[in-house]
Chains A and B, each alone.
Chain A
């Protein structure tokens, strides 16, 4: 049953969204949300929302209670109580846990980073924005006037005010009686997409680097997932050779040894060839590395692969270079040289966690 409170609840969610937006950059760079993700919901701590009033500072107030204990005994373990502030900091800093759907979070991300909506490619794209007349309201253009409802209101008013004459049932609607159809625009994603995450797991990629990749991928998933009906993610790790793994392994694996980036691109290519025909799928390869490739020859092989197959097939190709103390960071320079002016290729350098926001913006800022 629909509850009447739903509307108020929706307004509250709206305010919460505003709060999340205010604190979004912090959430992104602290990675606080990673552990809070359920299936479709993320639980987010937002600062307590309150209506200010003239009231007593709670610190000096204290109160009366009953029970055992001697004078001077502290009460409990300093846990939060109604009317008590936390010691040593501003009062009223309780935070509120709210659950937000991943889609909603993606919307907030989009608003805050001013990301353009993604335009899916391919024939399968049907008109996404549907306007549906879902309700009735009191104001609106004449062309949307709801005749029957208006009539009914006028009838009601006339009966109540005693001006309704059964012998001569003339109903005269006044402006307050008018009812209009109200519409709502809904957008439903229709196309499919796949994200192919590739990551360098050679010895030079440390835990912190992987954490950065993980935090970035959380938001990429959320944003792309918002725009496609079904979003699949595939994970490829590579050192000198590449293999496909699941999400958990992807972020956990640590190998040593060299780096042959082309091996990952080759695997990526074969996955696309076998499973994701490019004219039906929106394809997003994301590659993260510290930019230390085995040899110049291998880099050239990579460029070749990209130019021949990966880039033409994909909506965009993104390469994120995570700074590490061991990597030379050469690879991004090579790519930059080879793909100058190709706006399907997005390159971003992520020196630290604070830069994640910017690189998300780089990756998703093109609206592809």
Chain B
């Protein structure tokens, strides 16, 4: 690492740029962790991107595949990675060697936006290692807030642990187990860090068990209701009551944690699975705030660049680059574009006082259009939004019909008639609904552990909370295989396929699909 670090140091002129841009960012009120920039050649960049930005990850072919894909597309000139930044304290970011100075400036400005977001958005509080991954309160912290976020080290530790297991057990065994773990990677609960500490389950005072007695005269009682018979009866009733208790008592959303705690895994397997889980949780905040985070960074890079940093000669280059970052394509949603436009929309509304009851109840289109109370509260509102919202609440609260119309947002779906995806609607309600649905549970189906002793056979029963869209069956079946690998007993998932409740079950050899009623 040390010789890499020296080689990847910034050249002098970029260090001067960094200082300048950092000062500009602070001048705008951005508040970020110390940020280190490193230079990377394009294949180093591809490597880092394939590894999710981290210099060291556990060994897995998936990273190799990603690397192959990235280096292909950069060789053919299809894509190029400009910017990569890691949520770490201090934050790390990479600059691509050979980019023009304008590009490097743009990237730096963008990165400071991200790091400000990492530091201040409440979701990222879940990645503070000193709070044990549990967020107690979401109140914004001051400028001297410097949590322990040494994720680069943590990921490297995971890597060396997994490598050690590989040396003990062989790459094939560990890798195939990793494959299975990664199949389960998304079975976590995004809101788990915000549930507060789980209190140890308090025993509910249960009614003491009353064994029915036969009526008898006092002097006959010990013969008709003998003590040892009553004891035996009480024990069997107690056992029955225990059996009736479901385990887990509440459906468990964090399937990975459930497996780590309760599946009959070997020690190294448990270790690997918990590393995967920790890393999965690390990435949750970034997925929860994709639109907000990219929007925030884009908002600030464009303000910083155009207002303070650029020289007149660079404007065209910058505009070209900025346009390609914010470009939209049919059938895709560009989080940079949607985010930055929504922030601007919010800023404008709060600058002009377009909120509150009066505004909501105003039915006069012209009045609304020229509504301007000259509040100038936009900036303040933006900083508040970046601290206290995530994508779901951001869209839910600030997406307005005017914005949907102005940005030409639409929903699309597969049309069997046309044999292609087609525009379905431009209605505000539908756009918002679909957008929120896509963001729900990070776009993953909600699957939870219902019963760890299904049919009293020690089988694991999961439930897919069906929200209108079926699971993809072949993938679901393959995932069941991964679950069986961990649980070592048959595993089933209750879901709905083509409007019929079904149970997909795998017993290690065969797949079954049977009708199911809860």
Q: Are A69 and B423 in contact (CB under 8 A)?
A: yes
B422-445 CB contacts (< 8 Å) to partner A: 422-426, 431, 434-435, 438, 443-445
Interface hit among B12-20, B21-29, B464-472: B464-472
- 14 further A-B pairs in the complex, CB-CB below 8 A; given A54-B493, A55-B445, A78-B419: A4-B56, A8-B61, A8-B62, A53-B475, A54-B444, A54-B476, A54-B479, A56-B472, A57-B473, A62-B412, A62-B421, A64-B434, A71-B424, A76-B420
Residues from chain B with Cβ under 8 Å of A138 in the complex? 164, 167-168
Q: Does A139 contact B (CB under 8 A)?
A: yes
What residues of chain A lie closer than 8 Å to B179, measured between beta carbons? 51
Interface of B is mostly: mixed
Q: Indicate if the CB atoms of B472 and A84 lie closer than 8 Å.
A: no
Contact of A60 among B183, B418, B423, B470 (CB under 8 A): B470
Across chains A and B, which 4 residue pairs bring their CB atoms closest together, nearest first?
Answer: A12-B64, A62-B413, A52-B478, A8-B64
Complex CA–CA separation, A138 to B168 (angstroms)? 8
In the complex, per-residue mask of B446-468: 1 if CB is within 8 Å of any chain A CB, else 0: 01000000000000000010000
Q: Are A57 and B410 in contact (CB under 8 A)?
A: no
Q: Answer yes or no: B409 CB below 8 A from chain A CBs.
A: yes
- Check A58 for interface membership: any CB of B closer than 8 A: yes
Distance A88 CA – B476 CA, assembled complex (angstroms): 20
CB-based nearest B residue for A8: B64
**B84 interface residue per 8 A CB criterion:** no
Q: When the two chains form their complex, are residues A52 and B419 in contact, meaning their CB atoms are under 8 A apart?
A: no
The chain B residue sitting closest to A9, CB to CB, is: B64
Contact A66 B62 (CB under 8 A): no
Do A52 and B421 have beta carbons less than 8 Å apart? no
Question: Is A72 a contact of B420 with CB atoms below 8 Å?
Answer: no
A75 with B472, Cβ < 8 A, contacts A8-B64, A51-B182, A65-B409 known: no
Query: Given A64-B409, A70-B423, A138-B164, are A54 and B475 also a contact pair (CB < 8 Å)?
Result: yes
A160 on interface, CB distance cutoff 8 Å? no
Report yes or no: A74 in contact with B67, Cβ–Cβ below 8 A: no
Chain A residues near B (Cβ < 8 Å): 1, 3-5, 7-15, 49, 51-78, 81-82, 84, 87-88, 90-92, 96-98, 137-139
Cβ B420 vs Cβ A78 within 8 A: yes
User: In whole angstroms, how far apart are the Cα atoms of A261 and B474 in the complex?
Assistant: 56
Residue B50 CB within 8 A of the other chain: yes
A-B contact count (CB 8 A): 206
Give how many B residues have a beta carbon under 8 Å from the other chain's beta carbons: 79
Chain A hits for B411, CB < 8 A: 62-64
Q: Compute how far the CA of A96 lies from the CA of B44 in the bound complex, rounded to whole angstroms.
A: 22
Smallest CB separation, B499 vs chain A (Å): 12
B98 within 8 A of A: no
Q: A185 to nearest B CB, angstroms?
A: 17
B469–A65 touching, CB < 8 Å: no
Q: CB within 8 A of A64: which of B184, B422, B438, B479?
A: B438
Interface centre among A51, A54, A61, A137 (most CB of B within 10 A): A54
Is B328 a contact of A65 with CB atoms below 8 Å?
yes
B413:A9 contact, CB within 8 angstroms: no
* Chain B residues within 8 Å of A59, by CB: 414
Of the 9-residue stretches B213-221, B303-311, B330-338, which lies at the interface with chain A?
A: B330-338
Question: Contacts of A73 on B, CB cut-off 8 Å?
Answer: 422-423
Contact among A51, A71, A76 for B425, CB-based, below 8 A: A71
